[in-house]
Structure 1
Amino acid sequence: MVTNSYAKLLIMHEASVPDEVRSAVVERRGRSHAFEGYDPVSSALIIVDMQNHFVAEGGLSEVPVARGIVTNINALVETFRAAAGTIVWIRSTMSMEGRGAWPMFFENFIAPEKARDARAGLMAGTWGHEFFAELDVGSDELVIDKDRFSAFSPGASNLDDTLKARGIDTVFVTGTMTNVCCDSTARDAMMLDYRAVMVEDANAARSDEAHVGALSTFLSVFGDVLTTREAIGVLQVK
């Protein structure tokens, strides 16, 4: 668990979804939140890419703010455990060849040397591939590897099949980056008819603008956005 001395060093996004966005959402759908009533047993906490590669100081694709959401993620994990919910730890897992090399992305959007390092840094068995040490990862919890931004992208992982087999109809998405893998996963969840929720202060991006922009669009069209405190409140066993 995160120590108090560690927690004092953490930073989080200072910005949140603007009031004007929330007001527009209420005007459009007649209420603040898309969904009412949450059953923890049919809900899953999805923790995306909280690996050393993205979270640890010195990680190749470091997102410094991601260290600041560890406490909130751990609090959500504790809540899901107590409520008998499903917890899924998602890892980006790449390879130097085959599907896991993802040439469409690495050959067109990243310079060759950086692409090689990024692939190598997310290969199974490397330090970058491991979960950040301060995370409270349970030994009996689900760990699923993905090789695309969205864990629900066809062929990227077995997340959809795994959740459907457990009767899951709602997902709470956390992790990093808000505007890339987390947003992609949450949007695709909605497209597959899951009730999708992004936890505002348990997601992290490289800038407040990227974080807020992704959450604002998601709230407007794709699902709901709750804070950690709100999520815990709707999930706790009464």
Structure 2
Amino acid sequence: MKEAIYLVLDMENDLVHADGPNGKAAYGEQVRGRRILENTRRALDKARAAGVDIGFVRVGFSPDYRECPPNSPIFSGARKAGIFKLGQWGTEVHPDLGKQDGDFDIVKHRVSPFYATNLEAILRARGIKRIYCSGISTNAVVQATVREGHDRDYEIVVLEDCCCGTSAEEHENAIKGLQRFCRITTSEEVVFE
């Protein structure tokens, strides 16, 4: 039984692809400038070589947005913008990351990948004790994963160079706030075990 998983958080086309709505805005600038896709692919290749489970976490809603909270400052604009619609190109994992059939798919309707998803069942069934994670944004899904994972007694490892926010300052502040709850490393330094 494997004891670790690498969770790749919200690396979907609507957020990180150069042709996506956020890829043309602040996120896209940070994704390209920090080489998030390349770094994440390096980490994924290392995790696969080590036999570590891979899980892709994606935010998405039904075509009628029935799960989308209307009063959420983060998600309320999704319906108007027509983004995060499941079954569409925008909610697919970025193609450069090489998603494979055996990878776990965790679809969430809120910031946290633990809330009302299949994640906890996967972790328990696989005997997972350590969660490696990265993605965007550092101050939303990455923070939620670290804090909630910590409180569920998982060892958490964040791959800092595979994360970003809408600005370098936002990312740096989020990483500083997480240091008490996890181990911080990079795609080059990480040893998946």
- What TM-score does the superposition give when structure 1 sets the normalisation length? 0.72
Report the alpha carbon displacement of residue 91 of structure 1 after superposing the two structures with TM. Answer: 0.9
Deviations 1:14-49 (A, max 9, x none): xxxxxxxxxxxxxxxxxxxxxxxxxx9311100011
Q: Which amino acid aligns with 1:227?
A: T
Q: Distance in 1 between matches of 2:168 and 2:74?
A: 23
Tell me, yes or no, if structure 1 residue 165 matches structure 2 residue 125.
yes
Tell me, yes or no, if structure 1 residue 235 matches structure 2 residue 192.
yes
Q: Contact 1:66/1:175 (CA < 8 Å) preserved in 2?
A: no
Report the alpha carbon displacement of residue 132 of structure 1 after superposing the two structures with TM. Answer: 1.4
Match of 2:99 in 1: 137
Match of 1:73 in 2: 40
Q: Extract unaligned runs of 5+ from structure 2.
A: none
Q: Evaluate the alpha carbon distance shift between residue 223 and residue 115 of structure 1 in structure 2; reply closer, same or farther with a 3 A threshold.
A: same
Please give the secondary structure, in 2, of the residue aligned with 1:213.
Answer: helix
Match of 1:101 in 2: 68
Match of 2:49 in 1: 82
Q: Extract unaligned runs of 5+ from structure 1.
A: 1-39
Identity among equivalent positions (%) equals 29
Match of 1:126 in 2: 88
Q: Distance in 2 between matches of 1:138 and 1:147?
A: 23
Tell me, yes or no, if structure 1 residue 223 matches structure 2 residue 182.
yes
Q: Contact 2:69/2:75 (CA < 8 Å) preserved in 1?
A: no
Q: 1:207 aligns with which of 167, 170, 180?
A: 167
Q: Distance in 1 between matches of 2:139 and 2:75?
A: 21
Q: Distance in 2 between matches of 1:111 and 1:73?
A: 25
- What TM-score does the superposition give when structure 2 sets the normalisation length? 0.88
Q: Contact 1:89/1:144 (CA < 8 Å) preserved in 2?
A: yes
Would you tell me which structure has more helix in proportion to its own residues?
Answer: 1
Match of 1:187 in 2: 147
Q: Evaluate the alpha carbon distance shift between residue 41 and residue 83 of structure 1 in structure 2; reply closer, same or farther with a 3 A threshold.
A: farther
Q: Evaluate the alpha carbon distance shift between residue 169 and residue 143 of structure 1 in structure 2; reply closer, same or farther with a 3 A threshold.
A: same
Report the alpha carbon displacement of residue 201 of structure 1 after superposing the two structures with TM. Answer: 0.2
Report the alpha carbon displacement of residue 56 of structure 1 after superposing the two structures with TM. Answer: 1.3
Deviations 1:154-190 (A, max 9, x none): x1x1101101110101111111111111211221111
Match of 2:13 in 1: 52
CA RMSD for the aligned pairs?
2.0
Q: Contact 2:65/2:85 (CA < 8 Å) preserved in 1?
A: no
Q: Contact 1:45/1:80 (CA < 8 Å) preserved in 2?
A: yes
Match of 1:32 in 2: none
